């Protein structure tokens, strides 16, 4: 991914409220903010443009992050039609400052973004299906450049649903692969940019410890991973069928151990040195 210089403007002075983001020498612009300030966001001049919008929140049935990706010739009008959806709490949209995005362009971007969000697997995509649009080769290449910039901007605005966990595998070449072992089971992972990554094929204990009755954190995470298919039940253990990113080494270790665990001590190198020791070097 190319380097970029970003200009981030906090319209209210608060990084969680209305903010805009631009990249030097790029015609696009992103606007983001909480649903509670939607009226103010939609009164901005940018909301009169055509573009792509993202509604992010939590799926009420699974508790998993969720996103709706849409396209609109007038952002303001289209977003108002989504007020009956109660899952989303934040909005972001991207427009072109020179207003050169046609209906075909934004439909192409919408289709590509929906597919990429589904492939990333970080959030439940609430769209029924991707629409997409065919473009001439030159236009398609222009939109791929625009798409790459969207990928750079959204995480800065707090939306990382396009960032695939598997893309961090290359980080493992720099970060050492660590082991978490318990009762003859072995899990492998590494410290990534976005959190701690447990690799596909890692194993976890089949049953939780009694302490999860009092401290249910591990149980809730394990249940979510079982429901979304990240963990599958084998005869005597659970297995990760895809790479999974956690907020911390301890969060990953507690899933593997079936209860509370100190990730700084549970994760060790091939030589037996704990993560705590490795980080203190």
Q: Which tens digits make up the pLDDT trace of 85-94?
A: 889 999 999 9
Which residue, 206, 201, 203, 192, is CA-closest to 245?
192
Average confidence (pLDDT) over 97-119 = 92
What is the structure's pLDDT at 24?
92
Residue 123 gets the label, from left (phi > 0), alpha (psi -120 to 50) or beta, of beta
Q: Are 267 and 253 in contact (CB under 8 A)?
A: yes
Boundaries of every domain in the chain? 6-163, 166-280
Residues pairing with 29 in the sheet: 95
Tell me the pLDDT tens digit for each residue of 196-231. 999 999 999 999 988 888 888 889 899 989 988 899
Note the pLDDT of residue 166. 58
Q: Is the pLDDT at 131 greater than 90, yes or no?
A: no
The reported pLDDT for the residue numbered 254 is 94
278's tokens: 């490795």
Q: How confident is the model at residue 120 (pLDDT cuts 50, 70, 90)?
A: confident
Q: For residue range 153-196, what is the model confidence (pLDDT) as tens digits?
A: 999 999 989 987 654 455 545 678 999 999 999 999 998 877 89
pLDDT band at 57 (very low <50, low <70, confident <90, very high): very high
Tell me: pLDDT of 115 over 70.
yes
Instruction: Match 């403007």 to its residue by tokens.
Output: 9
> Kind and range of the H or E element at 74?
none
User: How far, in Å, are 56, 121, 126, 139, 160 from residue 52 at the CA level?
Assistant: 13, 20, 15, 17, 16
The closest alpha carbon to 92, from 41, 149, 31, belongs to 31
Q: What is the pLDDT of residue 64?
A: 81
**Residue partners of 141: CB distance under 8 A and separation at least 6:** none
Orientation of helix 217-227 relative to helix 249-257, angle to 10°: 80
Q: Is 166 exposed, middle or buried (0-12, 13-18, 19+ CB in 10 A)?
A: middle
Least confident of 173-177, 196-200, 243-247, 249-253: 173-177
2-43 residue pLDDT tens: 788 999 999 999 999 999 999 998 999 999 999 999 999 999
Q: Tell me which of 6-15, 130-139, 147-156, 262-271 is least confident.
A: 130-139
């Amino acid at each position: 991914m190319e380097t970029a210089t970003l200009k981030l403007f906090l319209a209210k002075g608060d990084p969680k409220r209305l903010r805009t983001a631009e990249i030097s020498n790029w015609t696009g612009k992103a606007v983001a903010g909480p649903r509670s300030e939607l009226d103010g966001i939609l009164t901005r001049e940018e909301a009169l443009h055509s573009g792509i919008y993202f509604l992010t929140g939590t799926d009420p049935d699974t508790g998993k992050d969720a996103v709706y990706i849409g396209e609109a010739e007038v952002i303001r009008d289209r977003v108002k039609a989504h007020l009956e959806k109660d899952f989303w709490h934040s909005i972001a949209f991207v427009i072109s400052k020179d207003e050169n995005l046609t209906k075909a362009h934004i439909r192409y971007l919408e289709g590509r973004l929906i597919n990429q969000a589904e492939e990333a697997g970080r959030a439940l995509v609430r769209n029924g299906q991707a629409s997409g649009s065919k473009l001439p080769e030159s236009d398609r290449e222009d939109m791929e450049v625009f798409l790459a910039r969207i990928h750079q901007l959204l995480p800065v605005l707090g939306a990382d649903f396009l960032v695939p966990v598997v893309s961090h595998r290359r980080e493992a070449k720099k970060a050492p692969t660590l082991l978490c072992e318990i009762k003859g089971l072995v899990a492998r992972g590494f410290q990534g940019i976005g959190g701690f990554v447990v690799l596909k094929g890692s194993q976890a204990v089949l049953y939780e410890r009694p302490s999860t009755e009092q401290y249910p954190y591990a149980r809730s995470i394990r249940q979510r991973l079982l429901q979304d298919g990240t963990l599958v039940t084998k005869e005597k253990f659970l297995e990760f069928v895809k790479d999974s990113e956690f907020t911390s080494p301890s969060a990953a270790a507690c899933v593997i151990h079936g209860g509370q665990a100190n990730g700084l001590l549970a994760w060790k190198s091939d030589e037996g040195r704990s993560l705590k020791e490795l980080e203190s070097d």
